[in-house]
Structure 1
Amino acid sequence: MAASPTPTLVLVPEWGTGHLMSMLESCKRILLCGRRARSFSITLLIMRPPTAQATSEVEAHVRREAASGLDIRFHRLPAVEPPADAAGVEEFIARYIQLHAPHVREAVAGMSCPVAALVLDLFATPMVDVARDLGVPSYVFMSSTGAMLALMLHLPVLHQVVTVEFSQVDGEVVHVPGLPPIPPESMPCPVVDKKSPNYTWFLRLGHSFMDATGIIANTADELEPGALAAVADGRAVPGRPAPPVYPVGPVLSLGSSDRRKDSSEPPHECVAWLDAQPPASVVFLCFGSMGWFEAAQVVEITAALERCGHRFLWVLRGPPSSESGAGAPDGSEHPTDAKLEELLPEGFLQRTEGKGLVWPTWVPQKDILAHPAVGGFVTHAGWNSVLESLWHGLPMAPWPLYAEQHLNAFELVADMGVAVPLKVDRKRDNFVEAANLERAVKCLMGEEGRKARERAAEMRDVCRNAVNKGGSSDAALQRLSEALHHGSVLPPTM
């Protein structure tokens, strides 16, 4: 008797690395977990990204995963015309993804094996309708925080209760169940203007979350107990039970950072430089794959680093060019390699030689965060970077730039206690004055930051214990695997 075909998890990711790889790494854990019972495969539905730079990155990920030896299949969806009239980044992404819905439906219906579930990026959440029509379970993958999840679920309620802009609320704070009162300036970028299409789309996404079979979250119960409890016990959406949430994180592709001792490859030049520095003496400044600064901001950073007196490793990127995505409709304006002689004040490199290193291009961030010479992290507060920092027990000074990063920064300081505050002028395009950065770095690396360092060290153990066998995230993964095994599946087409 022929064996039954292996059920597949069909993934619909957004093309950005932080979304795509976080989702894929999480589902690979499900695949490996499933091997202990009834196995799964993974089918990745690939949309053509709207920029050449993003396309190149996606293809690099596909080549790497195709060579992994895991049961991962790739299905390229037909190209669609990007919306030309989108007013904002989030609206563009959501609309562009939604245009693929007919192709997703066709791809899923045509699978030659049972479909265990459709796993949707948060921007693809309206496709729960596609899954429902096909009789397939749907799971939203939340690549951001539990706090952002609670906010998105609660946003339709807030929309009814708060009739003015959040910046005009009484008491000057926004109340979201499970979170400390949020200052309006810490609200995520897509919701700061209720008149914008971005806000309208986030309302729709918040509604759609409630129609999913479940929610897979890249966090851990112990990292964000308040937010996750508020979702689980129904406070996020009063009167309607939310789908079950499976916090399976931190999900990280650590690469060489945990295997460096076994590697025969020479270390990256930045890592070699760190090898010569005293333990916990270096502050690391890095702002993600899309983080870059104008010349005026660079001057403020250099002044702060000279005055604070601490050793530093600073990843400084140059402004995007048209070839790297400047003006890209999806907001993916990829920085270029920095021309240090043009961006840095005259004499800065000479004055800081031996004490600081400015690096103008990509760095192996995970290897750097794992290095014992690094004592603190000035970060844009993207969730993947935050999780990498917590995995290695490093305190942070968050400098949010876009998306939900302002909420992340607030949570790191006010709720988790793993970061020191940095005064960011949101009205001036997140400008930070030299005195404020100097103060934050001194706090982060000095006695004032001791509590944040201690708390970050505790979170290191929390993160690792959560994903170890018997930990809370391992248990959530087991529950998710069981739910997928027992959920309804779409039979193969005849």
Structure 2
Amino acid sequence: MMATAATPALVLLPEWGTGHLMSMVESCKRVLLGGGRKFFITVLVMRPPTDEATSEVEAHVRREAASGLDIRFHRLPPVEPPADAAGVEEFIARYIQLHAPHVRDAVVGLGCPVAALVLDMFAAPMVDVARNLGVPSYVFMSSTGALLALMLHLPVLHELVTVEFDEVDGEVDVPGLPPLPPTSMPCPVVDKKSPNYTWFVQLGERYMDATGIIANTADELEPGPLAAIANGQCVPGRTAPPVYPIGPVLSLGSGNTKKDSSEPTHECIRWLDAQPPASVVFLCFGSMGWFEAPQVMEITAALERSGHRFLWVLRGPPATESGAGAPDGSEHPTDANLDELLPGGFLDRTKGRGLVWPKWAPQKDILAHPAVGGFVTHGGWNSVLESLWHGVPMAPWPLYAEQHLNAFELVADMGVAVPLKVDRKRDNFVEAAELERTVRSLMMGGGSEEGTKAREKAAEKKAVCRNAVVDGGSSHAARHRLSEALHQGAAHPKTRINAA
């Protein structure tokens, strides 16, 4: 894993989840390798705690290694996962931290100038490894600027709010955001007695110790939260590390490039080709989103009664015999058995105006298709960015992680989404009548004011996203500042790590 002394090394430590790993790798490909100043880039690969996740990571590594770009992948030695973790976020943070000595050895083994150690948002405690080696450290924020503002402010809220957040009388004050309903707080912080909450408070504290924070967003996309961080509102009395909003960083595939004529067109795209412009509502819930049978019945009723064309990616439950799922919460849905999940006659009654797709679908290409007029989504940040890039308005249906906060931001702050009433106490259940109303509004049924506003705002954000990344855009300028900071770090004498 030796590099030439003339080229500074940039060492990345992503979490293994697709949304984390690929977001960071895309930043390497499109940002850190771009322009005239180059880095020798090494991605440190942790072995995921499940075989399924391991196979997924290895597939990503093989694909990127074959891309021809100068990105090296270094597999860290395996560690024993913590057996007593009480929650997903605690498990991930502790599992990553167990790799600390291996991360140190990998950085030392480079034997060349090191520009920085770039850490996943869950790996922030590794700033200590970087500090001990005299290497700058950057946290890579694969989620929103709003979540970053909340996490930086969470140690302050911990002291100010002495009750559980769902017991707060009124809203929660997060700098840079409109008043936040307690029901929109991220899942890991809703229970203060949970180790997940404790870890989130600690992560927010450790972000302050980083050299800088790289964020997959844009200044104009989230001006409030980013300004609040820069102005010192999130952590009173302390200056936050500089934030570099370099996004949107997306792997757009054929949705942004000319399609290889030898590549067969996906069935979902062929179906969309036969639909009128902006006529189809697209329902897709990420790599881990699936529903129990009662919720599926509500969705079918809503779609049937709405009268709108739809493309619905419906997945089946994970294949976990115990029902407990993977320790890191990464249990993946299976291909759906439509005969078992859908009510009798549904496919016949909606034939011609609806397609239910029971397995993985090319979401990016679907959102790029002119027939798609709205997106019912779990609200994961990568999915949101893909939707905004193509100007598609949304109806967020949050399921886990920070998605309830994302949904609030999309509706109340950005205005690019139509609200969908989700019953958080019933495992985010949505009634058929509510989904039907939302689909009609999103697709501008009856001249909906909500749908019209969301569509107009989504078009505005499409321009914002694209303008940010071109020469002269805000994210282009942030990338330049980041590149200069990284090269300054590489030139510092302490970063010339030697194995001795």
TM-score above 0.5: yes
Per-residue Cα deviation, 1:208-260 (whole angstroms, up to 9, x for no partner): 00000000000000000000000001001010000000000000000111124
Distance 1:260 1:28, change over 3 A: closer
What is the CA–CA distance in structure 1 between the aligned matches of 2:430 and 2:52, rounded to whole Å? 29
1:142 maps to: 141
What is the CA–CA distance in structure 1 between the aligned matches of 2:29 and 2:111, rounded to whole Å? 21
Give the secondary structure class of the aligned counterpart of 2:11: strand
Distance 1:323 1:467, change over 3 A: farther
Structure 2 matches for 1:335-346, cutoff 5 A?
Answer: 335-346=333-344
Determine if the alignment matches structure 1 residue 51 to structure 2 residue 50. yes
What is the CA–CA distance in structure 1 between the aligned matches of 2:463 and 2:322, rounded to whole Å? 39
Per-residue Cα deviation, 1:418-473 (whole angstroms, up to 9, x for no partner): 00000000000000000000000000001220110000001000000000111000
Distance 1:151 1:373, change over 3 A: same
Is the 1:213–1:243 contact (alpha carbons within 8 Å) kept by the matching residues of 2? yes
2:482 maps to: 480
1:203 maps to: 201
Tell me the number of residue pairs that the alignment of Structure 1 and Structure 2 aligns. 490
What is the CA–CA distance in structure 2 between the aligned matches of 1:328 and 1:266, rounded to whole Å? 34
Is the 1:193–1:199 contact (alpha carbons within 8 Å) kept by the matching residues of 2? yes
Q: Which blocks of at least 5 consecutive residues in structure 1 are unaligned?
A: none
What is the CA–CA distance in structure 2 between the aligned matches of 1:326 and 1:263, rounded to whole Å? 44
Is the 2:4–2:112 contact (alpha carbons within 8 Å) kept by the matching residues of 1? no
Aligned to 2:265, which of 267, 270, 283? 267
What is the CA–CA distance in structure 2 between the aligned matches of 1:399 and 1:3, rounded to whole Å? 49
Deviation, structure 1 residue 112:
2.6
The one-letter code of the counterpart of 1:352 is: T
Deviation, structure 1 residue 28:
2.3
TM-score, normalising length from structure 2? 0.96
Determine if the alignment matches structure 1 residue 98 to structure 2 residue 101. no
Is the 1:31–1:41 contact (alpha carbons within 8 Å) kept by the matching residues of 2? no
Per-residue Cα deviation, 1:269-313 (whole angstroms, up to 9, x for no partner): 000000000000000000000000000000000000000000000
* Residue range with higher mean Cα deviation, 446-455 or 356-365: 446-455
Give the secondary structure class of the aligned counterpart of 2:42: strand
Determine if the alignment matches structure 1 residue 426 to structure 2 residue 428. no
Aligned to 1:253, which of 243, 251, 254? 251
2:132 maps to: 133
Aligned to 1:463, which of 433, 456, 465? 465
The one-letter code of the counterpart of 1:295 is: A
2:18 maps to: 17
1:213 maps to: 211
Is the 2:9–2:40 contact (alpha carbons within 8 Å) kept by the matching residues of 1? yes
Structure 2 matches for 1:43-122, cutoff 5 A?
Answer: 43-122=42-121
TM-score, normalising length from structure 1? 0.97
Aligned to 2:381, which of 375, 380, 383? 383
Structure 2 matches for 1:204-243, cutoff 5 A?
Answer: 204-243=202-241
1:42 maps to: 41
1:451 maps to: 453
Is the 1:339–1:360 contact (alpha carbons within 8 Å) kept by the matching residues of 2? yes
The one-letter code of the counterpart of 1:473 is: S
Distance 1:59 1:245, change over 3 A: same
Give the secondary structure class of the aligned counterpart of 1:110: helix
What is the CA–CA distance in structure 2 between the aligned matches of 1:252 and 1:324, rounded to whole Å? 36
Distance 1:248 1:263, change over 3 A: farther
Q: CA RMSD in A?
A: 1.4
Is the 1:280–1:374 contact (alpha carbons within 8 Å) kept by the matching residues of 2? yes
What is the CA–CA distance in structure 1 between the aligned matches of 2:389 and 2:361, rounded to whole Å? 18
Deviation, structure 1 residue 323:
8.1
Is the 1:89–1:329 contact (alpha carbons within 8 Å) kept by the matching residues of 2? yes
Give the secondary structure class of the aligned counterpart of 2:33: helix
Give the percent of matched residue pairs that are identical in Structure 1 and Structure 2.
81
What is the CA–CA distance in structure 2 between the aligned matches of 1:175 and 1:82, rounded to whole Å? 36
Is the 1:340–1:360 contact (alpha carbons within 8 Å) kept by the matching residues of 2? yes
Per-residue Cα deviation, 1:332-357 (whole angstroms, up to 9, x for no partner): 11000000000000000000001100
2:409 maps to: 411
Deviation, structure 1 residue 325:
9.2
Give the secondary structure class of the aligned counterpart of 2:198: helix
